[in-house]
Structure formats: C-alpha cells, structure tokens
Amino acid sequence: MALTLVIGNKNYSSWSFRPWIALRVAGIPFEEVVIPLYEPGSKEQILKYSPAGKVPVLIDGDVRVWESLAIVDYLAERFPQARLWPGDAAARAHARAIAAEMHAGFAPLRRHCPMNMWRTVKARELTPEVAADVRRIEAIVTECRERFGQGGVQGGGQDGVQGGPFLFGAFGAADAMYAPVVARLSTYAIAVGAVAEAYKQAVMALPAWAEWRAAALKEPWIMANDEVDWPVVLRE
C-alpha cells in the first residue's frame, strides 16, 4: 500500500516541506493529501488525520506518524536503502543533532521570516535574535560541508554516493530538515557566506524543489495580508 503524506498548503507549510522533500529526493512513492492552512475548517480536517492537530502526518497502513523529524526518522528505518542518515556513526550523530536543533529551535527566524513561496524576493531588516539564528545556521552548514560534505568518512545520502553538494554529501534527512530555511534565506534575500550560499543553490537546484514551488504557485489559498507583488514573478 502506498504511503500517504498529509501536508499543509505548499506555500506556507514549512514543516510539511521537510518529509515531502525527503520522500521525493529518495524516490519513495507516496500520495499526498493537501489541507489548506488557516482557512475555516482547516483544524477539523487536520484532526481527522492526527490528534496533535498539526501537519505533516505520514500514514503507512496502520501506522501514523506525526512530527516532521519523527516522520523522516521513520522513513529512514522503513527504507534503509534510501540512506537518509549518514552511514558513519559519528556523522550520523552529528546529522541527528543538527536536525533536532532545527526541529526544536530557530523560533525568531521562523516568526520573522515565515516560508512563503509567493513572496516577492526582498530583504527584510533582521532583529539581533534573527541575525543570530542565521549566523548559527550558517555555522552549521559550513561545518557540515567542511567536515562531512566532501565524501570520505561518512557515506551519507540516499544514493550512496560519496561527496556531493549537501550537508553530508548526497541529500539526506538533515538536508530535508533544513530545506525551509533555504527557502527563507532566498525569499528574504539574507546574505550568507560562500559555503552556505553554494549549499542554498544546490538545494534550490533540486527538481523536487522546483516541483514543490511550482505547485505552491498554483495554489489558490493566499492569505489576504500576504506580501506579494502582483503579478507574481516566477523565480528560477
């Protein structure tokens, strides 16, 4: 039976983007159910799938998994051939730590720069707390790229290829957890150093990225107070 991923609308649902991109890049087939967020009745619809009242939710037969990080972890166990976590124990511990840090943290950046694929790219002044989040993310990306991303010790990623442009070489669970942050760096024109910038470009060059974004731009659910310049200019 195919997996089903219940997600929010693609323009806004950063948490949904994480397991969705993990599944897509790993080539794991799944069906999706999209529930538009912040609409009348949204909560009731979500509650049909999860008592937690939040998306994403993964349904695999009798198994239901909520919380983006738990979903990615479940996928890693269920599809070991996808190699969503690095093969090397030390690299894997590092990947899990940064994924958990993302799952639990960066509230100032989340609040100040919500994911919004429709928004016209333009800079927004960052508060000191948001700037500190950005610097921490930059440091995480730079350390991963320098220590693990070049291949060699860790053997991460879904296709077993050593090396690659992602945090641990090939795209994996940690990259999925950081994908919405890449979107925020882009949408809010946040300057980062060369290593983080190259990482951002690599994530945004994924066909799965383009697929998510194209679907987001076709969605009819745009919040009335959204910061969109019309007509929407498609970014490559």
Ligand X SMILES: N[C@@H](CCC(=O)N[C@@H](CS)C(=O)NCC(=O)O)C(=O)O
Does 55 help bind ligand X (rule: CB under 6 A)? yes
Q: Which of 9, 50, 58 is nearest to 30 (CA)?
A: 58
C-alpha Rg value of the chain to the nearest Å: 17
184 near ligand X, rule: CB under 6 A? no
- Sign for the CA dihedral angle at 117, 123, 128, 131 comes to positive
Which of 3, 5, 6, 8 is in the footprint of ligand X by CB under 6 A? 8
Site string for ligand X, 82-111 (x = CB under 6 A): ---------------------x--------
CB of 70 to ligand X, least distance (A): 8
Q: Using CB under 6 A, which of the segments 47-55, 86-94, 137-145, 164-172 binds ligand X?
A: 47-55
Q: Among residues 11, 14, 116, 158, which is the contact residue for ligand X, using CB under 6 A?
A: 14
Does 175 help bind ligand X (rule: CB under 6 A)? no
Measured between alpha carbons, how far is 206 from 212 in angstroms, rounded to an integer? 10
Shortest distance (Å) from residue 33 CB to ligand X: 13
In which order are the strands placed within the sheet that holds 30-35? 30-35, 3-8, 57-60, 63-66
Nearest to residue 134, comparing CAs of 189, 67, 213, 209? 189
Q: Which stretch binds ligand X (CB under 6 A): 61-69, 77-85, 153-161, 200-208?
A: 61-69
Q: Does 37 bind ligand X (CB under 6 A)?
A: yes
Return the bridge partners of 57, or none: 6, 66
117 near ligand X, judged by CB under 6 A? no
Residue 31: Cβ within 10 Å count? 11
Residue 54 interacts with ligand X (CB under 6 A): yes or no: yes
Q: What is the nearest approach in angstroms of ligand X to the Cβ of residue 38?
A: 7
- If binding is defined by CB under 6 A, does position 199 make contact with ligand X? no
- For residue 195, what are the contacts with CB-CB under 8 A and spacing of at least 6? 141, 142, 145, 146
